[in-house]
Amino acid sequence: MLSKKTKYGLKALTFLAKVEGKEPVQIAEIAKHENISQKFLESILLTLRRNGFLGSKKGKGGGYYLIKEPKDIPMTTVMRVLEGPIAMVPCVSLNFYEKCDDCPDEGECSVHKLMLQVRDSALEVYRNNTLADLL
C-alpha cells in the first residue's frame, strides 16, 4: 500500500510543477489545494528539500519551488526518497539489499524468484516516468 506520505509528496511535486514560473508557493496553499494536513505536508516538503528536489525561501513571499525541470525528475528517485525500497523484499532490492533470516539459499527461493520480476516491472514503470509525464 502506498503511504500517504508518498501520495501527498507526489501531489505536492505535481502542484509545484504546474505553477507558472518559479515563484515560491506557500505550504498552506498547497495543503489547501490538495486537501492535505498542513503540518504533515510541512514535514514531507522538508524531506523533499533535503533530498534535492525542492528549494525554499523564508519570509514574506516565501515558500517552496522546484529546483529542477519536471522532465529531469525520474519517479525512481522520488519513490525511493518518499516510499523507500521499490522492491517488496529486501533480498531483491538494488539500493537497500539485505539477506533474509530464514531462506538458506536465495537462488532456490520461490519468493525471491517472483519478487525479482515484480521489482523489475515496477522499476521499468518508474524509469519511464518523470514528473513531467504526470502532468
Partner DNA sequence: TTATTACCCTATCATTTTAGTAGGGAATAC
Partner DNA sequence: GTATTCCCTACTAAAATGATAGGGTAATAA
Helices 75-82 and 110-127: crossing angle, nearest 10°?
120
CA distance 15 to 24: 12
| Residue 64, helix vs strand vs coil | strand
Q: Which of residues 32-51 bind a second copy (CB under 8 A)?
A: 34-36
List binders of DNA among 47-86 (CB under 7 A).
49-50, 56-64
Stated as kind and residue range, the H or E segment containing 113 is: helix 110-127
Helix, strand, coil shares of the chain, percent, nearest 5, are: 55, 10, 35
Q: By rule CB under 7 A, what count of residues binds DNA?
A: 28
The one among 75, 76, 80, 82 contacting a second copy by CB under 8 A: 75
Give the footprint of a second copy on this chain (CB under 8 A).
Answer: 1-2, 7, 10-11, 14, 34-36, 75, 85, 88-89, 101-103, 109-111, 113-115, 117-118, 121-122, 124-126, 129, 134-135
**Which chain residues interact with DNA by CB under 7 A?**
3-5, 8, 24-28, 36-37, 39-40, 42-43, 45-46, 49-50, 56-64
